[in-house]
Structure 1
């Protein structure tokens, strides 16, 4: 059987399975969207209790979030922690991808190491980081939390940059080497510019993951410096009010904004590759 016939058979098989794939996709989409369709409208209530449908329309709870110093400080802490963790994870992930591309013999052996944080027990990891931070004098700072989230974000950044590296034409690197460029100049002038969109996408995805991470934040946030998800979880365990719904609405809006930026970046990268 020729390659053309195999391709035709594959396409026919995918067309036969398409209704099932569309159905599964719709079910998953509804499962993910329904909670937001409940929480976000409830955040605009003018009443004092969380209910759906909301009791009138008001921005009072969003104003209360921005006027409250506790929520503002928690938001700032979340941005600091997630931005630092995403930067560290992206730098390490990018360096790992560049290094593994030059040791192809051991690349298949070393590559799974960078996915190990995905199977780490978060609670055990948080307890271990907390114990390490005490003798180092870092227990009252956000550095243990930043380091822990950087480790958890590493697979995301690594996978995103590795996907871009797999599509990179090796001819560019060979051309630079044949013209006498050193390896670091090839990386700086050739590979990094071609991977910049993947690096940005990896950073944004890592930032979104770190911003919403709550397990490490609950264990490692020092008093008075808790992150937004940690404060949201603590407040929700004590009292459920429309204020929590408004905070959740802001988190959803920020996540959607990051997803939109990632989508635009990937489409721009795909369009440029086709050209």
Structure 2
């Protein structure tokens, strides 16, 4: 059985596949740490550059390859904007409808009108797009990233409720110990990623847990994963402690931020550990 495979076309297909991988990886915001606004703009610029290349190149099937990469860049752009900006169903419908009109129009222009850009003009367009992208990326870098500030209580007082006093084991009690505020000083929409956190109690032998869960309220799943320009958002920082059920008296603990739980204190102390060195204490 013989296969008639065109080696050149196979390489073109592989190039398009790798282009899709590169675009998808770029859209995951794990490479350059750019803002959502600039990432979306760069994806659209990539679409425009390959579209211009498709209108200019008239050799073998390179124009088809350029159009294929342009289409993939546009699909990734749509996916990114939809996911990152949390578009409503109406917004997604309008965006898809406009995209359908756009590509039908482009197809008509290629097949019927015969759009053909001169190399010099196409080069000037691509150069202008590259300069615009460079300016956007530079503005993104110098405008600053999302800042995180933590404000902890000096002390907290915990106790077991009367309803749980008859139990023989320990009772879980949630207590707010402070707040975390994230702010976006830049003119671009930026992603928000709350730091991982945990806590521990030292200087109190009656507490059984070496490591305490620390939660943000509202949780990150209940809020948008981005901040618009100039916006800020505050989360309550809550710690879940295990208290002996028969200890109904109030217990006061000092609260402090630490790098780890390998510390000792002479009085009951709740240590909050945030796994991010860039967080500023207020």
TM-score grouping bracket, smaller chain normalisation: under 0.3
Larger RCO, structures 1/2 (Cα 8 Å, 6+ apart): 1
When Rg is computed on C-alpha atoms for both structures, the one with the higher figure is: 2
What is the TM-score when the length of structure 2 is the normalising length? 0.26
Q: Is the helix fraction higher in 1 or 2?
A: 1
What is the TM-score when the length of structure 1 is the normalising length? 0.27
Q: Is the strand fraction higher in 1 or 2?
A: 2
